[in-house]
C-alpha cells in the first residue's frame, strides 16, 4: 500500500481562465466592467502598512455590521467569507451532513458537485424543465438539503419568490441555500423570506454587482442559528478568513449605494440592448436577469464560435458539457466591449453565410 491510497482525491473545479492579453475583451467570468466606487479607491490609498502586522478582526465585525445595517438585519444574521465560494463551501460542510442526497439543478454552477464530492456528500442533479426553469415539484422528495442559484448560472434565468417558497414549504427539515450571486441585476432576493423560514440561507457576493471580484468577499444571511453554525465551522478551520484590506474596502463598497445602483442599472441596460441585438442575429437564449447572456445560434457550432472569438482576443465562456455545448456564456461588459463583440459575431456569421 502506498501513501497515495490515503489521499483525498478530487476532480477540481475549473475556473474561467484569466488571460493576460493586451487589448483583450474579457467576457468569460462575469466580472463587473466598472471599477469599484470612489470610496473604495480612497480607502485603498489610506490603508496603513503598519496595520498589516496585526491579525485582522476574526469576527469581521465592521463588515458584518455594515451589511446587517444595509439589509435591515441584526449582526447575528450575517456571515462573511472569502468570496461566496468560501461561504458556500463552509455551508456545504456545515449543513449537508445526512446520508440522503442533496439536490441541485443538473445545469447549474459547476462548483456544487465538486464540493459535494470533496465533502463526500451524496447528491442528485435534478434535470431542469425544457425551458431551463426549475420545477419545484422535483424538489418535493426526501433529500439531505437543497441548493440552487437564483438567477441560475449559466442560464441567467430568474425564478420567482413564489417558486422559492414552494421549495421551502416542502422542505422544512433540511437547509435550503439560495445562491444569489447575480440577484442585483434585476431579481428579487429571497432575503424577504428569512424571517419566515429558519432553514433558508441566502448567499451573495461582492464579486459581480460590487466590482470586487479581486477582493474576494462573499456573505450569507439567515436565521441567527444558521449563522452561528457557520461560524462554528469557520472558527474550526481558519479564524482569520477576511484579510484587513478586504474588511476595510468591503465596508466602503457597501456605503456607496448610489454608485452601486448606477453601475448595476448600466449593466442591465446594456444587457437588454445586447439581448435584442443577439436576437436580431438569430441567437436563442433564456431571458437572462443576470450580468451575462447564455446564447446559442441554431446554425453555428457553439465551440467554433467560442474559438473564433478567442482568436480575436474576445473571451467568452464555453462549457464542456454535452447538454449545453452549443451555448456560450457572454458576460455583459461596457457598451464599447459589447459593440466589439457584436461586430465580431456579425462578421463571423457573414463569413459562414448565415
By the criterion CB under 6 A, which residues form the site for ligand PMP?
Answer: 83-85, 109, 149, 153, 179, 181, 205, 207, 213, 218
Q: Which of 61, 96, 77 is nearest to 193 (CA)?
A: 77
- As a whole number of angstroms, the distance between CA 314 and CA 21 comes to 10
- As a whole number of angstroms, the distance between CA 315 and CA 330 comes to 8
Q: Please, what is the minimum distance in Å from the beta carbon of residue 320 to ligand PMP?
A: 16
- As a whole number of angstroms, the distance between CA 6 and CA 18 comes to 33
Q: Please, what is the minimum distance in Å from the beta carbon of residue 109 to ligand PMP?
A: 4
Task: Check: CB of residue 349 under 8 Å from CB of residue 281.
Answer: yes
Which CB, 154 or 348, lies closer to ligand PMP? 154
Q: Please, what is the minimum distance in Å from the beta carbon of residue 19 to ligand PMP?
A: 17
Q: Please, what is the minimum distance in Å from the beta carbon of residue 89 to ligand PMP?
A: 9
SS3 for 307? helix
Q: Please, what is the minimum distance in Å from the beta carbon of residue 177 to ligand PMP?
A: 10
Which CB, 90 or 341, lies closer to ligand PMP? 90
Q: Please, what is the minimum distance in Å from the beta carbon of residue 182 to ligand PMP?
A: 7
| 149 backbone dihedrals φ, ψ, rounded to 5° | -85, 145
- DSSP per position, 101-163: PEEEESSS-TTHHHHHHHTT--EEEEPPPTTS---GGGG-S--S-EEEESS-TTT-PPPPHHH
- As a whole number of angstroms, the distance between CA 168 and CA 145 comes to 11
Task: Check: CB of residue 149 under 8 Å from CB of residue 120.
Answer: no
Which CB, 179 or 297, lies closer to ligand PMP? 179
- As a whole number of angstroms, the distance between CA 158 and CA 320 comes to 23
By beta carbon distance, the residue nearest ligand PMP is: 83
Q: Please, what is the minimum distance in Å from the beta carbon of residue 210 to ligand PMP?
A: 10
Which CB, 48 or 320, lies closer to ligand PMP? 320
Which CB, 181 or 227, lies closer to ligand PMP? 181
Task: Check: CB of residue 159 under 8 Å from CB of residue 150.
Answer: yes
Cα 280 to the chain's mean position, in Å? 28
Which CB, 147 or 194, lies closer to ligand PMP? 147
Amino acid at each position: 500500500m502506498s501513501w497515495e491510497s490515503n489521499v483525498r482525491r478530487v476532480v477540481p473545479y475549473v475556473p474561467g481562465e484569466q488571460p493576460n492579453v493586451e487589448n483583450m475583451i474579457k467576457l468569460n467570468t462575469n466580472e463587473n466592467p466598472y471599477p469599484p466606487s470612489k470610496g473604495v479607491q480612497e480607502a485603498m490609498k489610506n490603508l496603513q502598512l503598519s496595520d498589516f502586522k496585526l491579525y485582522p478582526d476574526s469576527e469581521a465585525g465592521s463588515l458584518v455590521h455594515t451589511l446587517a445595517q444595509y439589509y435591515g438585519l441584526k449582526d447575528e444574521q450575517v456571515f462573511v467569507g472569502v468570496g461566496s465560494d468560501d461561504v458556500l463551501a463552509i455551508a456545504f460542510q456545515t449543513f449537508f451532513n445526512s446520508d440522503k442526497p442533496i439536490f441541485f439543478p443538473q445545469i447549474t454552477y459547476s462548483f456544487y458537485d465538486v464540493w459535494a464530492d470533496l465533502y463526500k456528500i451524496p447528491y442528485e442533479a435534478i434535470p431542469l424543465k425544457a425551458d431551463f426553469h426549475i420545477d419545484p415539484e422535483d424538489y418535493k422528495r426526501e433529500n439531505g438539503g437543497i441548493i440552487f442559484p437564483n438567477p441560475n448560472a449559466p442560464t441567467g434565468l430568474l425564478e420567482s419568490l413564489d417558486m422559492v417558497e414552494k421549495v421551502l414549504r416542502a422542505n422544512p427539515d433540511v437547509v435550503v441555500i439560495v445562491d444569489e450571486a447575480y440577484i442585483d441585476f434585476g431579481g428579487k432576493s429571497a432575503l424577504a423570506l428569512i424571517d419566515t423560514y429558519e432553514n433558508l440561507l441566502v448567499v451573495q457576493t461582492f464579486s459581480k454587482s460590487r466590482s470586487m471580484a479581486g477582493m474576494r468577499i462573499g456573505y450569507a444571511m439567515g436565521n441567527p442559528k444558521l449563522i452561528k453554525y457557520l461560524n462554528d465551522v469557520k472558527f474550526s478551520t481558519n479564524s482569520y478568513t477576511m484579510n484587513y484590506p478586504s474588511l476595510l474596502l468591503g465596508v466602503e463598497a457597501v456605503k456607496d449605494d448610489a454608485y452601486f445602483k448606477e453601475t448595476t442599472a448600466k449593466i442591465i441596460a446594456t444587457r437588454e440592448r445586447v439581448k435584442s441585438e443577439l436576437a436580431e442575429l438569430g441567437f436563442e437564449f433564456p431571458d437572462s436577469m443576470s450580468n451575462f447572456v447564455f446564447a446559442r445560434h441554431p446554425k453555428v457550432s457553439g465551440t467554433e464560435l467560442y474559438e473564433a472569438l478567442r482568436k480575436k482576443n474576445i473571451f467568452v465562456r464555453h462549457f464542456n458539457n454535452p447538454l449545453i455545448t452549443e451555448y456560450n456564456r457572454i458576460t455583459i461588459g461596457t457598451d464599447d466591449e459589447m459593440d466589439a463583440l457584436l461586430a465580431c459575431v456579425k462578421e463571423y456569421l457573414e463569413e459562414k453565410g448565415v
